[in-house]
Amino acid sequence: MSDSDPPFFSPTPNPLLSYPFTSLLSTSTPSPNPSSNYDLHVSFQGKRKRTGVRRKAPIVSTLQSNPPLPPISLPPTPLPTPPISQTASPLKNPLEKPNIPSDISEEIIVINREATNEALIALTAGFPADSLTEEEIEANVISSIGGIEQVNYILIRNHILSRWRENVSNWLTKEFLASVIPDHCEVLLNSAYNFLVSHGYVNFGVAPAIKEKIPAEPTKPSIIIIGAGLAGLAAARQLMCFGFKVVVLEGRKRSGGRVYTKRMEGGSKFAAADLGGSVLTGTLGNPLGIIGKQLGSSLHKVRDKCPLYRPDGKPVNPDVDIKVENAFNRLLEKTSRLRQTMGEVAVDVSLGASLEAFRQVYGDAVTDEEMSLFNWHLANLEYANAGLLSKLSLAFWDQDDPYDMGGDHCFLPGGNGRFVQALAENVPILYEKTVHTIRYGVDGVQVIAGGQVYEGNMALCTVSLGVLKNGSIKFVPELPQRKLDGIRRLGFGLLNKVAMLFPYVFWRTDIDTFGHLSEDPSRRGEFFLFYSYATVAGGPLLIALVAGDAAHNFESMPPMDAVSTVLQILRGIFEPQGIDVPDPLQSVCTRWGTDSFSLGSYSHVAVGASGDDYDILAESVGDGRLFFAGEATTRRYPATMHGAFLSGLREAANMARHANARSLNIEVERSLSKNTQSCAALLEDLFREPDLEFGSFSINFGGKTSDPKSTAILRVALGAIKKKSNSEGTKADQQHSNKLLFHQLQSHYNQQQQLHVYTLLSQQQALELREVRGGDEMRLHYLSEKLGVKLVGRKGLGPAADAAIASIKAERGIRRPQ
């Protein structure tokens, strides 16, 4: 999203939903028009997909820049929060005056006078302030979507989130909350509290008060977890807290997986070097930020000042730096517009091919320095994705952008091994247990490591995508073909590092990064970026990154040669400045590509793949016996440490749900259609030109249009933002900073994430729905109260919907665009 985006809007799915919030957001002088919206012009700073290191190009005095935006004051409530889930954006634009009952104050509960601040906290936690997430809809947290019940549930949910974030080291009890929740809302309190606790949004982590909740003796079935990385450890702790008997099998001699902090020593110096995952990418919604707070640590912001040096060691000319960076960003914008016009062809085209094509067409005659600088930006992009640009999907390489966590990129002082150590405490982990076979069936699971067989009720596989691709583990029976295809389609790239402990710091201490250009395009990613850990590692530590093709070549480079090359680069930069570069006291070179327990670094969307493949990898198999977690199973946060952690919490909730259902002899509803990937694409295509459209409702008819009983597919767009006229809204509404931030955050989610919910109707019911008067809220009421229809996410559509979709597609002969 750029600074030129239109003003923010904050529409709501039900006029009742806006009432408790907007009433508290008003300024001291009541607006004469209560239905008017706020004319906001403050934009979020544009940020592209995890483009490696965040850097600020040097300021050139001859260039003019726009004046900075006025600061926005945040509420004092701590903001590091749990994950952002896909949000159900609002339906109705508040510009349209809602038909609010006169006795609304008697129906909507008032918990306190902090509804605005609590809505802000919910937003930063990933929940829309006045609607439900798809996850909540699928969990049936309320009896029907829309209406007073939903309003009150959301108020209670936001309150619970806010109260826990006031002190994340405490265990928040339901009894504590009950004192401020009206008695008649006890059911909603139970629903919200149980949802947030079971899904790991509150009461998670490593604080003593939370660890005390783990029962001394398990009372629930046994679970085997394969892999002691962040996903496995997060799931293990959560499941142990739920009362399950857990054992973790880890092939290495240590826990942490691809998060590895090594203590480096030499002479009297030592430092903690993060050889794997190192940067917390965003803090506002990052659960690892909460873990850090529970550990009593302050995170160190990675400063965005990143000077670049030419191959000869001289600083890059600031004018040239800005020129090339702007040209690079323009090319990325052109590729983004290109894929929108290419349709389905974009799925089979690489980002690299598109960038190169545009560079050749639009690139002016450039100097060697400009070309080297352009290649540095390409290397930085390959670092961000752990993949070659020639392998990245033009269509979906940045599909996770809408879920980017806000806030700074940070280091944890002392290294991320502190996370691992805290999460692994008192978790039963068996090391050097290399799993080679997993058997699963209706009676449970068997996991075989060496000559030992471990039996359990369920198993959670958290091994890397590289291990799954390699076929190192045999699954009996074989995994479903759709999962095998997803494993094959997704990409798994490589990033390597050279960590060096020096006798003293000889580089600048006011920066955390600096870059180096290469004359050889094929070596553009070789030691292209240096991270200084001197401020957080405990000693003078410098780490050089190796990305792209260079990362693969690095696997076979002798360590002495690698260190020698790095020192040559450093001396070329600093010795002309009169600074001596000493030999390192200790050096370590990573080899993540040949590590048999990782076989790579992290995932990306390769040519031919899509974000749906992450969902496919996350699907359980064997009727709820074998589950999967890890960074490659989360389409929202792939290739991140917090993504791995959150996937563990997600699967702990899923496993507990299946175990509870089995104990009650209840069959768990399958939330996924058999053809999720194709179903999603076809639904999107079908509703480009629906048969019937009114308000936020769209309908496609299947079968014979003359048959009133034939099946129709209804879609409701939650987040259908309507443009407001120039006459609506006043600048006076900008006076309240909390109000400004509230609408800014709400609109941030609305514009990035639009949720669609669906249901099946008969053609006759669809036509009756069209005739309902009173707007979208009355149609929602008619659906739930009159027709008894439940709206679900696309994953909740079953085989009947698949058949209807296929029928409509066949009739229309639609091609599938992306």
Tell me what pLDDT residue 707 has: 78
Tell me what pLDDT residue 580 has: 97
The stretch 517-532 carries a mean pLDDT of 97
Give which of 793, 649, 795, 617 is closest to 83, Cα–Cα.
649
Q: What are phi and psi of 180, to 5 degrees?
A: -115, 0
Is residue 573 predicted with pLDDT exceeding 70? Answer: yes
Give which of 675, 657, 674 is closest to 666, Cα–Cα.
657
Tell me what pLDDT residue 43 has: 25
Is residue 816 predicted with pLDDT exceeding 60? Answer: no
- Residue-wise pLDDT for 392-450, tens only, equals 999 999 999 888 887 899 999 999 999 999 999 999 999 999 999 999 999 999 999 98
Task: Enumerate residues 6+ apart whose C-beta is below 8 A from 99.
Answer: 15, 774, 775, 777
- Residue-wise pLDDT for 182-228, tens only, equals 999 999 999 999 999 999 999 999 999 999 999 999 999 999 999 99
- Residue-wise pLDDT for 735-792, tens only, equals 444 454 445 445 444 444 556 788 888 888 988 898 898 888 888 888 878 888 777 7
Percent of the chain with pLDDT over 90: 58
Name which of 24-33, 115-124, 702-711 the model is least confident about: 24-33
Give which of 710, 378, 726, 721 is closest to 550, Cα–Cα.
378
Tell me what pLDDT residue 77 has: 32
- Residue-wise pLDDT for 246-294, tens only, equals 999 999 999 999 999 999 999 899 999 999 999 999 887 799 999 999 9
Interatomic CA distance for residues 552 and 53, integer angstroms:
20
**Which tops the pLDDT comparison, 786 or 474?**
474
Angle at 784 between CA 718 and CA 139, to 5 degrees: 65
Output DSSP code: residue 53. S
Give which of 456, 413, 184, 401 is closest to 293, Cα–Cα.
413
Tell me what pLDDT residue 147 has: 81
SS3 of 735-750: HCHHHHHHHHHHHHHH
Is residue 600 predicted with pLDDT exceeding 50? Answer: yes
Tell me what pLDDT residue 125 has: 79
Residue with tokens 């085209």: 349
pTM of the model as a whole: 0.78
Distances (CA, A) of 522 to 239, 372, 376, 379, 518: 47, 11, 11, 10, 9
Helix axes 115-124, 737-752, angle to 10 degrees: 40
Is residue 385 predicted with pLDDT exceeding 50? Answer: yes
The stretch 307-313 carries a mean pLDDT of 96
> How far out from the chain centre does Cα 168 lie?
21
Count helices and strands (H / E) in the chain. 24, 26
- Which residue stretches of 664-700 are H helix? 676-686
The stretch 672-684 carries a mean pLDDT of 56
- Residue-wise pLDDT for 176-189, tens only, equals 999 899 999 999 99
Pairing state between β 220-226 and 586-589: unpaired
Mean pLDDT of the chain: 82
The stretch 11-31 carries a mean pLDDT of 33
- Which residue stretches of 281-402 are H helix? 287-294, 318-342, 351-362, 368-385
- Residue-wise pLDDT for 290-308, tens only, equals 999 999 999 999 999 999 9
Tell me what pLDDT residue 535 has: 94
Residue with tokens 């450039």: 366
Interatomic CA distance for residues 418 and 619, integer angstroms:
30
Pairing state between β 458-461 and 452-456: unpaired
Give which of 379, 260, 248 is closest to 652, Cα–Cα.
248
